[in-house]
Structure 1
Amino acid sequence: MSLRVGYFPHNNSLFVLRHLGILERALPDVEWVDLRELPAPPDVDVKTALPSEHSDWLFTDGGYDVIGTGFTPPLTALANNRDIVYLGISGPRVENGRLVATAASGITSAADLRGKRVGIAHGSWQTTLLLLALDRVGLGWNDIEPVDVDVRGGGNALLSGDLDAWVGTYPGLRDVEAATELVTLVDTASLFSHPSLWFTRRDLVDDNPDAVSAVLSALAEADAWIIANPREAAKFFVDDANAHGLPADLDAWEAALRGRPFGINPVTEEFLDEQQAAADLLFANGLLPKTVDVRSAALPWLGAAV
């Protein structure tokens, strides 16, 4: 059986695993699917919905069987009736990014964002971070103007004044820090643990648990390699960016990787509590079509396997 693994640079672990050949030792027929080459999903209204591309691709013949993402996509999948299962989570990535504004804007807290344009990579962990930040000061999604931007484009838009605030992520955030003085409106650590996570379809777990175990083992080995070889790992990202015509700095990528927690861990009750609270808040703000039970996607034996 061929196992299709979706990857892209934003999930550092799977992206490096794609380059190391570790998984192929256990699964010679593994197929790597570059998510950037899949058809673009239909546009969604950033005010009223979350994009569902991760769950859609997970359940199509042209998509993939296993994926690693940030905090929000599995919630979108569950709310769109996708029968997914969590495979594991990373440690907290609270240093990975934060909600910022320029010092010149006069914006000093999330409470100042009413009616403001805030840039996020909509559908990623950034949507959850922004909504949690707003909720903490008594604001909701309809109180701001969310703008869907990519990581680098968001930084440029903040500098040009096209955005009033932005959820920035390293290494792209480093360029903006070098260009102007920033104010941190909300850090990540005070809101949620922000792990990477991996998930798949329940039928794959039921029908091919050995393949699932092989993926978990390979991820653990690749993450150990990243920890031991951060500069060599950073070069994979720089080379990929250059191949796509984008600038990338090796030192910045190495620093970003050194600051992130690697290693795959079992899904915890604390993580599930965070997921459930986020899902409830997303639904209450009109971004999910239905309420979800995140614990339906957690299998105890997978925790033991991790």
Structure 2
Amino acid sequence: MTEFSGSDLPASGLAASDLARRLPLTRRRFAALLATALAAGLATGWAGGAHAQEKVVRIGYQKYGTLILLKNKGLLEGKLKALGYSVRWAEFPAGPQLLEALNAGAIDFGNTGEAPPIFAQAAGAPLVYVGYEPAAPEGEAILVPKGSPLKTVADLKGKTVALNKGSNVHYLLVKALEKAGVAYADVKTTFLTPADARAAFERGAVDAWAIWDPFQAAAEKTIEARQLADGTGIVSNYQFYFTTKNFAEQAPQVVDAVLAGVAEIGAWVKANPKAAAEEFSPLVGIPTPILEVALARQQYDVKPITPAVVAQQQEVADAFHKLGLIPKPIRISDAVRAARS
């Protein structure tokens, strides 16, 4: 694992989705995802889109969040064994890449922030929202270097902002600029993964960086990056859990078991934040004190999707369509799992 030191944030490595992101052709993107999934053993029983030869749920996770703790503690395996399922895990550098894999059929379940599923649904991904974590607006921010002359979001006009395209912070930037009276088109954006954005931010290649925890907390602590704004009063910063339409229909009890495992881990994190930070530290290569700050800004819980949450997510979709960031309007309600009796 890459160690955290000085000016470098830990990189998550070239996962299947990261490789695919760097390839220009759709066919090559899909081929990269599939090849790596096969090499990792993720596609067992995938032929024909079915889990005929082995009953397995393939879960995509990111380097930080509830799912990586669920994997690390091994709690889910026991829950699913009773249902006749095993678990396969795959790591992704960010939400957009994880949902590319979901769309390609390489995973069955995962979680991301509020923006990635908008892009994925607009691209035709067969995703289904099955749960969410409560709002955590302090868990993402627009940062500037310690000595930057920029003091407010309005000062970003004509400046360059680094961010991961299609991630939660993409929506944060859109709404923060709107609140400040600055047109999105009046800001230059450069789309970089967190590790690459951190490097560009430190060498002065960009004026600001829109980023989420724990990278946000790490930059604030180690290089004294300063917030122009976090999500407070601007965006909710929800985390969502997804599966595919087919998997939701074929194995609803498995989806419920995974969500129950997520809830169990969330309750443990809330009750034991220091222990959770200590467990996260070797997984992400970030010191425990920084992770304690990041964890304090999250709401670790999982709840059923509500009409109010759907309405807020629809606002995200509408905003992206208005700006031409997605090619067509979408209805979030079309991708929400019906309530189970």
**d(CA) in 2 for partners of 1:216 and 1:201?**
14
**Residue 101 (structure 2) aligned to one of 46, 49, 57:** 57
- 1:35 matched to which residue of 2? 91
**d(CA) in 2 for partners of 1:254 and 1:269?**
32
RMSD of aligned alpha carbons: 2.4
After superposition, the Cα gap between the structure-2 partners of 1:140 and 1:31, relative to the gap in structure 1 and judged at 3 Å, is farther
The TM-score normalised by the length of structure 2 is 0.76
Aligned 1:48-87 pairs, distance under 5 A? 53-61=97-105, 63-87=106-130
State the AA in 2 paired with 1:184.
Answer: Q
Task: Flag structure 2 segments of 5+ consecutive residues without an equivalent.
Answer: 1-54
After superposition, the Cα gap between the structure-2 partners of 1:52 and 1:255, relative to the gap in structure 1 and judged at 3 Å, is closer
Residue 21 (str. 1) matches residue 65 (str. 2): no
- 2:251 matched to which residue of 1? 208
The C-alpha deviation readout for 1:125-144, integer Å capped at 9, x for no partner, is 01111111122234343322
- 1:222 matched to which residue of 2? 265
Q: Secondary structure at the match of 1:133?
A: helix
- 2:57 matched to which residue of 1? 3
The C-alpha deviation readout for 1:80-122, integer Å capped at 9, x for no partner, is 1122211111111112121122353322222222221101122
Residue 253 (str. 1) matches residue 307 (str. 2): no
State the AA in 2 paired with 1:17.
Answer: L
**d(CA) in 2 for partners of 1:188 and 1:142?**
20
**d(CA) in 1 for partners of 2:166 and 2:253?**
31
- 1:165 matched to which residue of 2? 208
State the AA in 2 paired with 1:60.
Answer: A
Q: Secondary structure at the match of 1:112?
A: helix
Aligned 1:1-306 pairs, distance under 5 A? 1-10=55-64, 12-28=65-81, 29-36=85-92, 53-61=97-105, 63-102=106-145, 104-178=147-221, 182-241=225-284, 247-302=285-340
After superposition, the Cα gap between the structure-2 partners of 1:175 and 1:21, relative to the gap in structure 1 and judged at 3 Å, is closer
Task: Flag structure 1 segments of 5+ consecutive residues without an equivalent.
Answer: 41-50, 242-246
The C-alpha deviation readout for 1:185-215, integer Å capped at 9, x for no partner, is 2220211211111011112111211111111
The C-alpha deviation readout for 1:153-197, integer Å capped at 9, x for no partner, is 434433432111112333333343345665532220211211111
After superposition, the Cα gap between the structure-2 partners of 1:197 and 1:52, relative to the gap in structure 1 and judged at 3 Å, is closer
After superposition, the Cα gap between the structure-2 partners of 1:53 and 1:168, relative to the gap in structure 1 and judged at 3 Å, is closer
The C-alpha deviation readout for 1:6-26, integer Å capped at 9, x for no partner, is 11223x111100111221112
Q: Give the % identical residues.
A: 28
**d(CA) in 2 for partners of 1:208 and 1:254?**
36
After superposition, the Cα gap between the structure-2 partners of 1:78 and 1:174, relative to the gap in structure 1 and judged at 3 Å, is closer
Asked if 2 retains the 8 angstrom alpha-carbon contact of 1:54 and 1:77, the reply is no
Deviates more, 1:290-299 or 1:100-109: 100-109
After superposition, the Cα gap between the structure-2 partners of 1:18 and 1:179, relative to the gap in structure 1 and judged at 3 Å, is closer
Query: 1:220 Cα deviation (Å)?
Result: 0.8
The C-alpha deviation readout for 1:261-301, integer Å capped at 9, x for no partner, is 11101212232222111111111222112110011122341
- 2:26 matched to which residue of 1? none
**d(CA) in 2 for partners of 1:3 and 1:102?**
43
The TM-score normalised by the length of structure 1 is 0.84
**d(CA) in 2 for partners of 1:161 and 1:55?**
31
The C-alpha deviation readout for 1:44-80, integer Å capped at 9, x for no partner, is xxxxxxx95333311334x110011111111112101
State the AA in 2 paired with 1:9.
Answer: K
Asked if 1 retains the 8 angstrom alpha-carbon contact of 2:102 and 2:127, the reply is no
State the AA in 1 paired with 2:339.
Answer: W
Deviates more, 1:150-159 or 1:109-118: 150-159
**d(CA) in 2 for partners of 1:64 and 1:190?**
34
- Length, aligned pairs only: 284
State the AA in 1 paired with 2:58.
Answer: R
After superposition, the Cα gap between the structure-2 partners of 1:111 and 1:217, relative to the gap in structure 1 and judged at 3 Å, is same
